[in-house]
Amino acid sequence: MNANSNIESEAETLVILPGLLCDGRMFAGQLAEFAGSKSIDGFYGGADRIGAMADYALERMPSRCAVLGHSMGARIALEIVRKAPERVTRLVLADTGIHPPRPGEREKRYALRDLGREQGFAALVDDWLPPMVGPAMRSDKVLLGELRAMCLDAGQDVFEAQIEALLNRPDVTDVLTEIACPVSLIVGSDDAWSPVEQHREIAAAIGDCPLSIVPEAGHMAPAERPAAFNAAIREWLASKDLQPEKNLTKVLKGRI
């Protein structure tokens, strides 16, 4: 295999950036399906800012790879695109948002924080997790048990660090207009936290990029409906560069 083949192989590596309280266990169905894929685990080393989380991921990613960011992980992915766009060959943003903190968000996140402080972290997880799963899968005790165990392993300190990162998240308006690789969006049809319409707005902000809707899935779509989620990933990985003019612009900017 020559050097160019090595670069090509590395570029197809799928790197997954988990969201709040999540690690690779959330993406067991994807990691099993896509050879060579990897999740950035370790809860971002306890970082409390999106930029620091992006740095943590960049240190653990191949030099060039496909990036899938889920929920908070999608915001980290956008920060990676800001910091090192040449590292990302294609991008998928799943079950996420691009808006700044909304009125009342800080109070809601701190109410959960305080519940954990006062009643124990298990009480926080038991309040937060069920609504993250779509109605069709909420009675699946095995799924809920696996997700609950993952979240409990993160712990109160990680939760508090990650909500601070989310409450202090950077504006991504400029990043969205500069993305120079194929982009797709994926969302669960019943995602109450990051609804479908919110993803239509993201698609419009990027430039009408493809949007896949996973039927009967909530915010935890990768774990709830892995087969349907994987089908959307396969389509994304097979997509061609849909934004050649953006690539040309970025190349020209690099020469100025």
Give residue-wise pLDDT tens across range 113-140: 999 999 999 999 999 999 999 999 999 9
Q: What is the Cα–Cα distance from 9 to 61, expressed in whole angstroms? A: 14
Q: Is residue 76 part of a domain?
A: yes
Model confidence at 169: pLDDT above 80: yes
Burial 22-38 (b: 16+ CB within 10 A, else e): bbbbbbebbbebbeebb
Contact 87, 111 (CB under 8 A): no
At residue 251, the pLDDT reads 29
At residue 8, the pLDDT reads 43
Q: Is residue 78 part of a domain?
A: yes
Q: Is residue 221 part of a domain?
A: yes
Q: Is residue 147 part of a domain?
A: no
pLDDT confidence tier of residue 240, bands split at 50, 70 and 90: low
pLDDT tens digits for 183-238? 999 999 999 999 999 999 999 999 889 999 999 999 999 999 999 999 999 999 88
Model confidence at 27: pLDDT above 50: yes
Question: What's the CATH code of the domain at 235?
Answer: 3.40.50.1820
The range of the structural domain enclosing residue 53 comes to: 3-102+166-255
Q: Is residue 119 part of a domain?
A: no
At residue 248, the pLDDT reads 31
Is the overall model pTM greater than 0.85, yes or no?
yes
At residue 208, the pLDDT reads 83
Q: Is residue 184 part of a domain?
A: yes
Domain total in the chain: 1
At residue 238, the pLDDT reads 86
Model confidence at 96: pLDDT above 60: yes
Q: Is residue 126 part of a domain?
A: no
Q: What is the Cα–Cα distance from 160 to 58, expressed in whole angstroms? A: 22
- Nearest to residue 95, comparing CAs of 72, 67, 125? 72
pLDDT confidence tier of residue 4, bands split at 50, 70 and 90: very low
Q: Is residue 93 part of a domain?
A: yes
